[in-house]
Amino acid sequence: MASDPAPVDAAEPRPGWMRRWLPRLGRRGLDIVYPAHCPGCGSGTAEPGALCGACWQTMAFIARPYCERLGTPFSVDVGGPLLSPAAIAEPPAFDRARAVALHEGDARLFVTRLKFGDRLDLAKPMGRLMAAAGKEVLEGAHALVPVPLHWTRHLWRRFNQSSVLAEEIALQCGVPVMHDLIRRRKRTPQQIGLSKAERASNLQGAFEVPVAAKPRVEGRHLVLVDDVHTTGATLNACARVLRRAGAARIDVVTFTKVANPLSNPI
């Protein structure tokens, strides 16, 4: 006697055509209701989160030739890897720094809007660009380490822009984010408008690696993530505590770089 047909399992995978087309139809419906737009100016774009041509052209993207340590661009290409006079005179506590663009124009505007305007939608395109700009320093890294905020400032702002950017970079490169490797143990005044020496003094003893985190720091290649690289005071302070905790290599990825912080303090 023929057996009854097996009951259909409600969890059985959909046919191939359904798996291929349902997500596309869903995305198409969202595009109709919420058309893709440039996060910078709001004009229409072909892809959600992508910058339009006008905003793209205003970005002063950083490309070689630049200082291999600080990532500061040179105006003339004389060939070969180069170090800037600043990197030779005062070597940073980190190994290499990379940034997407100079801190001017729309790049500066994006940083300001993300940090002070709650424009979290900007984190996606910014993170994508940071992953591309930092490709060589992200390769082989064990973890991304966002520069932390003091808990009181985090409570007031409701988010840490460095953590948000690090999460977007992680989606692009697959390097995990470790938010607890550095702790900001004292609240410091805002760095805006301070000189290089004042910034360094302001950050004395501001960061620490918690005892419980040290096993995950020792011998690792870590990449610090922040929105802006100005004088490097904050990045150096973070790099020093990681180095003392045993990190083998410390690199930096930021969205913007201030080419001459002495003449353009932020």
Q: Is the pLDDT of residue 262 over 90?
A: no
pLDDT of residue 9: 46
Q: Which two tokens stand for residue 123?
A: 């984190």
Indicate whether 185 belongs to any domain. yes
Q: Lowest mean pLDDT: which of 80-94, 110-124, 189-203?
A: 189-203
Question: Do 143 and 111 share a domain, yes or no?
Answer: yes
pLDDT of residue 188: 73
Structural domain contains residue 8: no
Residue 247 predicted with pLDDT over 70:
yes
When pLDDT is cut at 50, 70 and 90, the band that residue 217 belongs to is very high
Residue 28 has pLDDT above 60, yes or no: no
- 3 domain-assigned: no
Of 23-27, 157-161, 217-221, give the lowest mean pLDDT range. 23-27
Residue 77 and residue 139 in one domain: yes
What are the backbone dihedrals phi and psi of residue 61, each rounded to the nearest 5 degrees, phi first?
-65, 145
Answer with the one of 58, 88, 106 that is the final residue of a domain.
58
Final residue of a structural domain among 10, 43, 58: 58
**Which of 23-37, 71-85, 111-125, 242-256 shows the lowest per-residue confidence on average (mean pLDDT)?**
23-37
The Cα 15–Cα 12 span in angstroms is 9
Reported confidence tier of residue 192, pLDDT bands at 50, 70, 90: low
In-domain check, residue 13: no
For residues 73 and 54, state if they share a domain.
no
Q: Are residues 154 and 201 in the same domain?
A: yes
Same domain, 51 and 176: no
Whole-prediction pTM = 0.81
For 101-144, the pLDDT digits (tens) are: 999 988 999 999 999 998 998 999 999 999 999 999 999 999 99
Cα dihedral across residues 50, 173, 110, 77: positive or negative: negative
The CATH number of the domain holding residue 68 is 3.40.50.2020
Residue 158 token pair: 């409701």
Domain identity same for 45 and 145: no
Is 83 in contact with 91 (CB distance < 8 Å)? Answer: no
Which segment, 28-32, 56-60, 218-222, 256-260, is predicted with the most confidence on average?
218-222
Domain final residue, candidates 58, 81, 111: 58
Q: Is residue 12 part of a domain?
A: no
Which range among 30-44, 45-59, 170-184, 224-238 shows the weakest confidence by mean pLDDT?
Answer: 30-44
Residues 41 and 162 in one domain: no
pLDDT digits (tens, 9 = 90+) for 10-21: 444 445 545 455
* Same-domain status, 24 and 142: no
Mapped onto helix, strand or coil, the DSSP state of residue 101 is strand
Residues 29 and 105 in one domain: no
Determine the average pLDDT of the residues in 217-243.
96
Q: Cα-flanking dihedrals φ and ψ of residue 39, to 5°?
A: -70, -15
Q: Are residues 109 and 95 in the same domain?
A: yes
Asked if residue 205 and residue 169 are part of one domain, the reply reads yes
pLDDT at residue 35, as a whole number: 65
Query: Are 38 and 122 in the same domain?
Result: no
Whole-number percent of the chain with pLDDT over 70: 79
User: What is the total count of domains within the chain?
Assistant: 2
Structural domain span for residue 93:
59-257
Angle at 186 between CA 195 and CA 262, to 5 degrees: 10
Rounded Cα gap, residues 95 and 97, in angstroms: 7
Q: Is residue 263 in a domain?
A: no
